[in-house]
Amino acid sequence: MRILDILSDQYFEDLQNGRCAERDQKTLLSQKAVLTTIFSLLNLHTDQHHPEIRRRMTEKEWLMNNEKMNDGEDFPGNSSSTSISSDAESRIYCEKRPHCRP
């Protein structure tokens, strides 16, 4: 969890200092919202790509899980909807190395 804290701190600082796309600067309202989003996307990725999960989360279920997670507000526009669509199509994986499991 420490890595996610550091990542979310840095990303939110970049948002505040204008080092991210303008649309992103208006989307995430706090460091906590950034952390929640990162964690939620990692969970979504596991749900969409782990071979032992039989029933995949629907877009509607994922959006419901993320309601009011942006400092008590919903994420604006379709940013959450875009995330689930792109995550379902792409996969994060580890290159084949001795310390990585297939």
Kindly report the CATH number assigned to the domain that includes residue 18: 1.10.1000.11
Q: Is residue 40 part of a domain?
A: yes
Strands of 21-73 (E only): list them: none
Exposed/middle/buried for residue 45 (C-beta within 10 Å: 0-12, 13-18, 19+): middle
The pLDDT of 28-48, averaged and rounded, is 88
Reduced to 3 states, what is the DSSP secondary structure of residue 70?
Answer: strand
Four-CA torsion 79, 83, 86, 89, nearest 10 degrees? -160
Q: Is residue 22 part of a domain?
A: yes
Q: Is residue 27 part of a domain?
A: yes
pTM of model > 0.85: no
**pLDDT for 22 beyond 60:** yes
The residue range of the domain holding 36 is 2-89
13 vs 33: CA distance, rounded Å: 13
Task: Report the number of distinct structural domains present in the chain.
Answer: 1
Tokens representing 44?
Answer: 């979504």
